[in-house]
Structure 1
Amino acid sequence: MTVRPAVDTDLAPLVALEAACFGSEAWSEVQVREELAGDRAVLVLEAAGQAAGYASVSVVAGDAELLRIAVRPELRREGMGRALLAAGVAAARERGACRMLLEVDAGNRPAIALYAASGFAPIARRRGYYRGRDALVMEREL
């Protein structure tokens, strides 16, 4: 298992990851392409020679935001999400961030547990943020 910066040829695997992980809420090919072309830290986790997960981190004025993190459903609970999150935090630090923020579906207990175990704490709740479901805003000082 390795984490590396994404390259243009990762477009198709990342679009497939989006569909597998987020279904009807997946980012489109155009959105993923914009992530790859933008000023984001987009990281790919490879396992067994294929893209098993990815993360996208934005840094603006000292604040980082974890925009997306995804691990193939059949590969979850093997430490890949934790590895991606750690790599995202490191990328944010390298880009000068002092803190990282993220939003997570308030009902996604596994993700909330992962973030809490990695030092994130809830700071706000956004009612109805995810098609009627609440989001927790979590923060970690870097």
Structure 2
Amino acid sequence: MRDGYMRDDPLFLRWLGGHRDDRADRSSWWSPWLQLIQETTARGVDVRRARVISEPASEYIRFEHEITFRNITSGERVRWLPRRRATGLALPGNDFWLIDGQHLLVHHFSGAGDFVEHEFVTDPRTISLCASAFEAVWARALPHEDFRLT
């Protein structure tokens, strides 16, 4: 939902400095998180990530777009929705992970994009709202392999 996160992230700073992952050298970019996702999707769990972005894209979004091959390699399905195509959707004000349609982990960030805290939400109405918002975004968004940044 944001156009930039943790802009002091060492991976982002390396990318700004010109580093690009060698897709053929998996050991150089593979991580415990990607391993967890691969193990999860291998069990048949569908892991989907939707990104709502502004256009033209910020440098951070360009970075995310370029490294999304990592997510795809681990088994995630990723879609992109330009913010102009989100008009008419009721979207929550925060990023979140919805797990099994019944557990909601909300991510809070500062105005500068720095992580502040996580919040576990148990209210069924909030969980339902976030689930329906995600499905609405997913239906409008383009799969990563079809999406080109402007």
* More strand as a share of residues: 1
Fold match by TM threshold 0.5: no
Bigger Rg, structure 1 or 2:
2
User: Normalized against structure 2, the TM-score is what?
Assistant: 0.28
Per the normalisation by structure 1, the TM-score is: 0.29
Tell me: higher relative CO, structure 1 or 2? Use CA pairs within 8 A at least 6 residues apart: 2
